Amino acid sequence: MANILDVILKTIGDVQQKNQKNPNVETADPSVFDILRNKLQEIDHKSKNNELQKGKRSPKSILDLIKSGIEGTRRENKKDPKVATAPKSIFDDILKKVEAAPQRQAKSGIRKIIQDYNLDASRIPQDMLNEIQTKYSADVKHMNQQYAQAIFDLAKKIR
């Protein structure tokens, strides 16, 4: 993931600029974006130093860690009486970018299955294909989590 974190950090800057330029939405306090950047840079630092999974019972994907950081910032922002609560769209726009990669992977995975099995999906409504894609994505995530847990447990035993 040559750097999903870089992509998300760029997205934070883009969302901040969009927020500042939009007269129809309350401008979020710049400290909210700084907190987001700091959380993601902390994840990046821990990732580079191989410290993300230490002391945990089960591994988390980098995307889950990023989502947790964004949600944590949202909660902090709501609780902080000194800083106005940022519009919901700020966090939602950033989370959409985090979710985009797995959605693209699921779409290409379903497309590959259709090709590999020479299936005629031309008459299947798009909303039904989207449901299949969502299920596929959840199944792949679950399977990846199982493999990650097995590798994580094995690595702990070998230490």
* Tens digit of each residue's pLDDT (9 = 90 or more) over 102-119: 889 999 999 999 999 999
Can you give the pLDDT at residue 117? 97
Helix (H, G, I), strand (E, B) or coil at 41: helix
In this prediction, residues 4-11 reach a mean pLDDT of: 89
In this prediction, residues 14-39 reach a mean pLDDT of: 94
Q: Who has greater pLDDT, 53 or 139?
A: 139
In this prediction, residues 50-71 reach a mean pLDDT of: 83
Give the tokens for residue 36. Answer: 């987001």
Q: Where are any strands of DSSP class E within 68-135?
A: none
Q: Report the alpha-carbon distance of residue 16 to residue 60 in Å, rounded.
A: 28
Q: Report the alpha-carbon distance of residue 111 to residue 155 in Å, rounded.
A: 35
Q: Report the alpha-carbon distance of residue 40 to residue 5 in Å, rounded.
A: 7
Helix (H, G, I), strand (E, B) or coil at 45: helix
Tokens 């070998």 belong to which residue?
A: 158
Q: Who has greater pLDDT, 51 or 24?
A: 24
The answer to whether the pTM exceeds 0.75 is yes
Can you give the pLDDT at residue 59? 84
Q: Is the dihedral of CA 38, 3, 90, 58 positive or negative?
A: negative
Range with the poorest average pLDDT among 13-22, 28-37, 45-54: 45-54
pLDDT band at 79 (very low <50, low <70, confident <90, very high): very high
Can you give the pLDDT at residue 1? 40
Cβ atoms within 10 Å of 73's Cβ, excluding its own: 23
Q: Specify whether the CB–CB gap between 39 and 73 falls below 8 A.
A: yes
